[in-house]
């Protein structure tokens, strides 16, 4: 690592502390993002925090930069939202939230909560964790402002692509809020007994510092969470579409070659069609080489990096019921 890189990483850590200073000591309370995620991770991150690497700190900085950018855009348009508004539960003050942008109309008394998310690609729908975090914020706001009309939205911003999308029209849901507060109280209680913290698999498990010994992954088959089921369904749908497209392409190719033959060049107003023969080539039968000339094989073989193979297949309903 160069001196400049070392300097930048140290400076980045200091900047991250400064940017998060308004959150206070997160080990002493349960935030909306804690409740929206995995209880086990929330508990362990408070009692056994792990240092963030430079890549994670850069993502945090990207989020803060996006907040400043969106704030300046709002103000350029004449809006003056409150930022990082802290609210606590009146009965459980250790449960808190920090609202990214809070709008308040003095004329109507209406509040609007906006949660900002920086992403690398705008999702088709908001993630469940985002929605739950917003509901914690709206619920706490409602408890602190009884009777006031409240709405909420999530603004997803992809800075690299220069795109954004708002997921709007959320309103407080007391049933969901109460369930989320119960989850927050479970996290609070588990701070004294971390072994009782429930594991809740989700899309962020891949970056969790506490996954290695997580019971959700070490005790039998993993129950696939809703967000991953949605992703897997989309993956399967696109894979099946690709197979169908490949089949259609092969059929179209054969039909066109039936007209062109192996040596053809044609032109229309919109495209050019060429057909030509590709001569035979040679390849090495590695299995036969290894069997007949093992010494030569050992001298010429080359290691190939492994990779992770993903298979998503449909489960017949009858088989799924039998397995259950």
**Whether pLDDT at 275 is above 90:** yes
CB 146 within 8 A of CB 172: no
* Choices 3.40.50.2300, 3.90.1530.10, 3.90.320.10, 3.40.50.720: CATH for 7-196: 3.90.320.10
Q: Which of 77, 123, 128 is nearest to 101 (CA)?
A: 77
List pLDDT tens digits, range 124-178: 899 999 999 999 999 999 999 999 999 999 999 999 999 999 999 999 999 999 9
Cα–Cα distance between 57 and 70 in angstroms, integer?
20
CB 98 within 8 A of CB 31: yes
Cα–Cα distance between 49 and 285 in angstroms, integer?
53
What mean pLDDT, rounded, does the chain reach? 91
Percent of the chain with pLDDT over 90: 69
Beta bridge partners of 164: 157
pLDDT grade for 311, boundaries at 50, 70 and 90: confident
Query: What is the predicted pLDDT for the residue at 319?
Result: 46
Q: How far is CA 36 from CA 27, 88, 201, in A?
A: 16, 16, 12
Q: Which is more confidently placed, 115 or 58? A: 115
Query: What is the predicted pLDDT for the residue at 268?
Result: 92
**Whether pLDDT at 56 is above 90:** no
CB-based burial of residue 104 (10 Å sphere; 0-12 exposed, 13-18 middle, 19+ buried)? middle
Residues with Cβ within 8 Å of 197's Cβ and at least 6 positions away in sequence, in order, are: 39, 40, 42, 43, 44, 186, 187, 190
Query: What is the predicted pLDDT for the residue at 18?
Result: 82
Query: What is the predicted pLDDT for the residue at 317?
Result: 62
Q: Count Cα neighbours of 147 within 13 Å in the Cβ-side half-sphere.
A: 1
Run of H or E including 222: none
Residue 272, classed as helix, strand or coil, is strand
List pLDDT tens digits, range 203-260: 889 889 999 999 998 877 778 888 888 889 889 999 999 999 999 999 999 999 999 9
Query: What is the predicted pLDDT for the residue at 68?
Result: 94
Q: How far is CA 224 from CA 81, 201, 213, in A?
A: 39, 7, 18
List pLDDT tens digits, range 65-83: 999 999 999 999 999 999 9
Cα–Cα distance between 194 and 256 in angstroms, integer?
66
List pLDDT tens digits, range 17-45: 887 777 788 889 999 999 999 999 999 99
Determine how many CB atoms are found less than 10 A away from the CB of residue 184. 26
CB 160 within 8 A of CB 121: no
Average pLDDT over residues 91-115: 96
Q: Which of 28, 25, 46 is nearest to 37 (CA)?
A: 46
**Whether pLDDT at 318 is above 60:** no
CB 96 within 8 A of CB 89: yes
Delimit the domains of the chain by residue range: 7-196
Query: What is the predicted pLDDT for the residue at 257?
Result: 94
Beta bridge partners of 172: none
């Amino acid at each position: 690592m160069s001196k400049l890189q070392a300097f930048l990483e140290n400076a980045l850590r200091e900047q991250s502390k400064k940017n998060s200073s308004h959150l206070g000591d997160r080990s002493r309370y349960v935030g909306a993002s804690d409740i929206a995620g995995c209880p086990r991770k929330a508990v362990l991150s408070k009692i056994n925090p792990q240092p963030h690497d430079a890549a994670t700190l850069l993502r945090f900085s990207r989020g803060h930069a996006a907040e400043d950018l969106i704030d300046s855009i709002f103000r350029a348009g004449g809006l003056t939202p409150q930022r990082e508004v802290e609210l606590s539960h009146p009965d459980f003050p250790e449960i808190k939230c920090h609202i990214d942008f809070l709008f308040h109309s003095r004329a109507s008394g209406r509040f609007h909560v906006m949660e900002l998310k920086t992403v690398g690609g705008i999702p088709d729908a908001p993630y469940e964790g985002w929605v739950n975090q917003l509901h914690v914020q709206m619920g706490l706001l409602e408890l602190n402002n009884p009777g006031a009309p409240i709405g909420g939205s999530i603004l997803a911003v992809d800075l690299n692509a220069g795109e954004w999308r708002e997921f709007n029209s959320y309103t407080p849901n007391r049933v969901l809020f109460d369930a989320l507060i119960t989850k927050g109280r479970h996290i609070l209680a588990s701070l004294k007994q971390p072994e009782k913290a429930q594991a809740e698999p989700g899309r962020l498990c891949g970056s969790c510092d506490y996954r290695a010994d997580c019971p959700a992954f070490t005790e039998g088959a993993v129950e696939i969470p809703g967000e991953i089921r949605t992703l897997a369904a989309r993956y399967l749908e696109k894979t099946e579409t690709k197979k169908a497209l490949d089949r259609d392409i092969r059929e179209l190719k054969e039909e066109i070659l039936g007209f062109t033959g192996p040596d053809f060049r044609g032109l229309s107003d919109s495209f050019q069609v060429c057909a030509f023969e590709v001569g035979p080539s040679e390849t090495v039968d590695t299995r036969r080489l290894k069997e007949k000339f093992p010494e030569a094989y050992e001298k010429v073989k080359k290691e190939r990096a492994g990779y992770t193979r993903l298979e998503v297949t449909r489960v017949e309903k009858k088989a799924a019921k039998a397995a259950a």
